[in-house]
């Protein structure tokens, strides 16, 4: 990247130590290419955190502008307005007004809009300009405007609004240098330092009654601006029209929808496999290498049997998670996800949810935590509560290690329904289905009891179809793998160490005790009576307890328990010992238990924050635990 | 409590967006919805006086409309709350 200037050249008066770089906020409606531009500017130099108090993801990055100059760029959630009706809108508004702890009020703004829909997108321009900050208007998707025969007079628009204007096609990295030039000017000006709280004035809110007048006035203003700058709207996108006539077709639409969902599931269990085998090989080989390198002491067992095997058994599922997130990313960035939400809305509406719940629920297949956060875009509070209540029923990727282990151990790899699906895939699909059914029934009950509502509305903007930006996809994948590995690295690392320690005490004359006599074994035996009706023994009991931290921990736990137990004999694969120890019915019961029970403290924590209290998370945890226990009991009796 | 966001009192006819055939552009007259349901529409430019055109229907039978070059999916229940009028004969030919 850029070299640091050792000697400050002819910059402006350097009177103080270089303090914090200026902060620029990136504002824009959803689907305007905001995040793509953010990624182009910051690349890998970005951090994701949460805003204090709320769980809105805060994306802050550093833009290096040469000559040692940098600015901090914050990517705000995409919003249509600042009425603070949704959490995203509230956060955007608070950041702009400088009311968020830990973030200075911005020194300058970048408003990015999709220029092909200029009139629609400029509804944000008036409140943004009223902030009185230096503002750059980015007309994104300029290539699309040209290609579809639209025009706009940038000069006139810039003059009319009194701001700088840059045209970009952020996906192709075109025009982004213009944005950098603007940022360089801001950087040279330095941070204003003044912590001024500005108000977004004239924000129509639900409280001020003549809402419609305020919007109508704003609309009129925008129309005037657009006309004065000779905006000629582009022709409708032919590609979008052609694709929509297929994807939203009465018959083909739902079929394609189902095919997409099936493709996602099949691929995470086929495409990811070679990568997983690779990781497995690496963990195994490096474990052997460590055994060969370290002297035969007590800590060799901790490192190899505890930490290495435990963390390794979880890292192996990284490829599956990445493939899943890659698919979700492509679906979302291409514009298909919005269509999927529309297709899903009718069915969701019948259940008591709405189409917007589709994205959180689909994200729930990766992880319930970001999924519950994604539900913030649901403007109706009761719809949102019902959605996040049932989201953990979606088969998250943390369940996959558990499913994969038990399915591989107990379900034969034989074809069912011809060559297209194996029995294993069918069982997996069944478990996904079980989660869906539980979610539907639960949502249906909730909306008729605790969360009774008047009918709500559903509005979904359908963005033009676009080829997803590779960079944005890759950065998101990187982001997700970091989060996953941090989980593996922290929670699972800690749990494996505690577990290993519990297996080492009370010490006997000859060293560590038999696993059954150890402290861990004692804990397992205390639990055993409770899970005995499910056909499970104390070993699985320990796994169920430790997997409260995170579901996938049970795999590492069982690995530790059996690994330690059989440490002196030849290494037996976990699957083989499980087959020896569990009846098939109990294994299926355990699968059902994990399909239903809320074995995830992160979800409980997020629920507490998102619902501002303990009522919902406690209700949810208890409900899902009973469902899991009951389901496992029934399964054990049936099979 | 429920109050309507109505720009003007009822006009001669009571035509709803849900009744409009595909590809016929109409003008929005009023939104017969409580404020909290109307606001998201307003923010997306669905305001009295705007031109709106149903372009497609979703597999579930809900309308997808075009407004200012954006595609917006509604529920038919919502479309039935949007009062519209046909454009007069002097609508632009282009």
Q: Indicate whether B48 belongs to any domain.
A: yes
Our count of domains for chain B comes to: 1
Average pLDDT over residues B71-87: 91
Q: Indicate whether A186 belongs to any domain.
A: yes
The helix or strand, by DSSP H or E, that contains position B53, with its residue range, turns out to be: strand B51-57
Q: Indicate whether B5 belongs to any domain.
A: no
Domain range enclosing B71: 15-86
Query: Residue A393 above 90 pLDDT?
Result: yes
Q: Indicate whether B58 belongs to any domain.
A: yes
Q: Are residues A208 and A331 in the same domain?
A: no
Give the pLDDT score at A1: 39
Q: Is the dihedral of CA A293, A295, A300, A301 positive or negative?
A: positive
CATH number at residue A33: 3.40.50.300
Provide the terminal-to-terminal Cα distance of chain B, rounded to the nearest Å: 44
Least confidently predicted of A209-218, A360-369, A510-519, A560-569: A560-569
Query: Residue A589 above 90 pLDDT?
Result: yes
Q: Which two tokens stand for residue A288?
A: 């052997």
Q: Is A158 exposed, middle or buried (0-12, 13-18, 19+ CB in 10 A)?
A: middle
Q: Output DSSP code: residue A174.
A: B
Q: Which two tokens stand for residue A235?
A: 């022709």
Of the CA atoms within 13 Å of residue A556, those in its CB half-sphere come to 36
Q: Tell me how close the Cα of A206 comes to any Cα of chain B, in angstroms.
A: 7
Q: How confident is the model at residue A183 (pLDDT cuts 50, 70, 90)?
A: very high
Q: Are residues A63 and A160 in the same domain?
A: yes
| Residue of chain A minimizing CA distance to B36 | A206
Q: Tell me how close the Cα of B89 comes to any Cα of chain A, in angstroms.
A: 22
Residue with tokens 């403007």: A379
Q: Which two tokens stand for residue A170?
A: 């952020």
Average pLDDT over residues A82-108: 83
Q: Indicate whether A14 belongs to any domain.
A: no
Give the nearest partner residue to B68 out of A81, A85, A120, using CB atoms: A120
Q: Are residues A256 and A223 in the same domain?
A: no
Sort out which chain A residues have CB atoms less than 8 A from B59's CB and list them: 248-251, 253-254, 343, 346
ipTM computed for the complex:
0.83
Q: Indicate whether A631 belongs to any domain.
A: yes
Task: Note whether A126 contacts B: Cβ–Cβ < 8 A.
Answer: no
Q: Which two tokens stand for residue A418?
A: 């011809």
Query: Residue B2 above 50 pLDDT?
Result: no
Residue with tokens 């930006």: A469
User: Best residue in B60, B67, B78, B79 to probe A by mutation, most A CBs within 10 Å?
Assistant: B60
Our count of domains for chain A comes to: 2
Q: Are residues A557 and A639 in the same domain?
A: yes
Q: Indicate whether A460 belongs to any domain.
A: no
CA A431 distance to own-chain centroid: 22
Task: Note whether B44 contacts A: Cβ–Cβ < 8 A.
Answer: yes
Spatial strand order of the sheet with A23-27 comes to: A46-50, A57-64, A70-75, A23-27, A108-114, A135-140, A164-167
Q: Indicate whether A506 belongs to any domain.
A: yes
Q: Indicate whether A246 belongs to any domain.
A: no
Q: Are residues A142 and A269 in the same domain?
A: no
Q: Tens digit of pLDDT for each residue in A253-308?
A: 999 998 987 787 677 667 777 887 888 788 778 888 888 888 877 777 777 767 77
Query: Residue A310 above 60 pLDDT?
Result: yes
| Residue of chain B minimizing CA distance to A148 | B69
Least confidently predicted of A372-381, A536-545, B57-66: A372-381
Q: Indicate whether A102 belongs to any domain.
A: yes
Domain range enclosing A422: 252-451+473-639
Over the Cα atoms of chain B, what is R_g? 13
Q: Tens digit of pLDDT for each residue in A433-482?
A: 999 999 999 999 998 888 877 666 788 889 889 888 888 888 888 877 77
Q: How confident is the model at residue A570 (pLDDT cuts 50, 70, 90)?
A: very low
The better pLDDT of the pair A510, A63 is held by: A63
Q: How confident is the model at residue A499 (pLDDT cuts 50, 70, 90)?
A: confident
The helix or strand, by DSSP H or E, that contains position A58, with its residue range, turns out to be: strand A57-64
The better pLDDT of the pair A263, B25 is held by: B25
Q: Indicate whether B70 belongs to any domain.
A: yes
| Residue of chain B minimizing CA distance to A235 | B69
Provide the terminal-to-terminal Cα distance of chain A, rounded to the nearest Å: 61
Q: Are residues A202 and A296 in the same domain?
A: no
CATH number at residue B41: 2.30.30.90
Query: Contact B69/A119, CB-based, under 8 Å?
Result: yes
Q: Is the dihedral of CA A594, A599, A600, A603 positive or negative?
A: positive
Q: With a CB-CB cutoff of 8 Å, which residues 51-90 of chain B face chain A?
A: 56-62, 64, 66-75, 77-78
Query: Residue A132 above 70 pLDDT?
Result: yes
Give me the residues paired with residue A71 across strands: A63
């Amino acid at each position: 990247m850029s070299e640091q200037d050792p000697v400050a050249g002819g910059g402006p008066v350097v009177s103080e130590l270089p303090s914090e770089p200026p902060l620029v906020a990136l504002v824009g409606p959803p689907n305007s290419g905001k995040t793509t531009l953010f990624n182009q500017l910051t690349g890998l130099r970005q951090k994701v955190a949460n805003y204090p108090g709320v769980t809105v993801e805060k994306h802050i990055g550093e833009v290096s502008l040469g000559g040692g100059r940098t600015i901090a760029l914050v990517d705000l959630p995409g919003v249509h307005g600042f009425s603070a009706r949704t959490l995203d809108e509230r956060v955007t508004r608070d950041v702009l007004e400088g009311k968020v702890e830990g973030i200075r009020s911005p020194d300058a703004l970048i408003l990015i809009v999709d220029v092909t829909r200029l009139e629609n997108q400029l509804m944000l321009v008036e409140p943004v300009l009223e902030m009185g900050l230096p503002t750059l208007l980015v007309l994104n998707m300029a290539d699309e405007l040209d290609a579809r025969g639209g025009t706009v007079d940038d000069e006139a628009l810039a003059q009319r609004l009194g701001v700088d204007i840059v045209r970009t096609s952020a996906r192709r990295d075109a025009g982004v240098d213009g944005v950098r030039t603007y940022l360089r000017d801001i950087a040279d000006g330095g941070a204003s330092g003044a912590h001024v709280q500005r108000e977004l004035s004239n924000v129509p809110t639900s409280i001020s009654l003549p809402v419609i007048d305020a919007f109508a006035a704003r609309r009129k203003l925008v129309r005037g601006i657009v006309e004065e700058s000779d905006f000629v709207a582009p022709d409708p996108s032919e590609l979008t029209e052609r694709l929509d006539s297929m994807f939203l077709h009465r018959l083909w639409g739902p079929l394609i929808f189902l095919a997409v969902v099936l493709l996602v599931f099949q691929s995470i269990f086929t495409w990811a496999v070679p990568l997983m085998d690779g990781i497995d090989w690496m963990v195994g080989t490096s474990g052997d290498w460590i055994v060969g390198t370290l002297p035969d002491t007590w800590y060799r067992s901790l490192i190899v049997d505890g930490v290495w095997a435990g963390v390794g058994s979880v890292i192996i599922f990284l490829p599956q998670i990445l493939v899943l997130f890659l698919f979700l990313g492509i679906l979302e960035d291409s514009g298909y996800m919005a269509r999927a939400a529309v297709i899903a809305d009718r069915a969701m509406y019948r259940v008591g949810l709405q189409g917007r719940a589709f994205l959180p629920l689909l994200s729930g297949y990766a992880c319930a935590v970001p999924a519950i956060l994604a539900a913030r875009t649901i403007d109706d509070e009761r719809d949102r509560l019902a959605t996040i209540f049932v989201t953990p029923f979606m088969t998250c990727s943390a369940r996959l290690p558990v499913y994969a282990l038990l399915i591989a151990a107990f379900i034969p790899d034989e074809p069912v329904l011809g060559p297209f699906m194996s029995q294993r895939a069918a069982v997996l699909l069944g478990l996904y289905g079980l989660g869906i059914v539980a979610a539907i029934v639960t949502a249906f009950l909730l909306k008729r009891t605790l969360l009774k509502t008047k009918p709500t509305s559903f509005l979904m903007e359908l963005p033009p179809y676009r080829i997803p930006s590779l960079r944005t996809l890759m950065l998101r994948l990187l982001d997700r793998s970091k989060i996953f590995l941090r989980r593996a690295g922290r929670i699972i690392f800690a749990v494996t160490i505690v577990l290993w320690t519990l297996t080492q005490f009370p010490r006997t004359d000859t060293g560590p005790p038999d696993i059954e006599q150890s402290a861990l074994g004692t804990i397992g035996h205390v639990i055993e009576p409770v899970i005995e009706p499910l056909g499970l023994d104390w070993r699985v009991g320990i796994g169920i307890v430790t997997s409260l931290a995170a579901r996938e921990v049970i795999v590492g736990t069982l690995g530790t328990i059996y690994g330690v137990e059989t440490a002196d004999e030849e290494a037996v694969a976990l699957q083989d010992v499980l087959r020896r120890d569990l009846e098939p019915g109990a294994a299926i019961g355990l699968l059902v238990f994990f399909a239903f029970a809320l074995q995830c403290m992160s979800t409980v924590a997020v629920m507490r924050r998102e619902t501002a209290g303990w009522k919902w998370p406690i209700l949810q945890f208890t409900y899902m635990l009973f469902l899991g226990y009951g389901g496992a009991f029934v399964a054990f009796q049936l099979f | 409590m429920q109050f309507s966001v109505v720009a003007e009192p009822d006009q001669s006819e009571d035509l709803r967006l849900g009744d409009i055939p595909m590809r016929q552009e109409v003008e929005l007259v009023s939104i017969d919805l409580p404020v909290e349901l109307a606001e998201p529409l307003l923010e997306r430019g669905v305001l009295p006086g705007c031109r709106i055109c149903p372009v497609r229907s979703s597999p579930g039978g809900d309308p997808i409309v075009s407004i200012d070059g954006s595609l917006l999916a509604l529920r038919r229940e919502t479309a039935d709350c949007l009062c519209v009028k046909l454009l007069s004969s002097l609508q632009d030919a282009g």
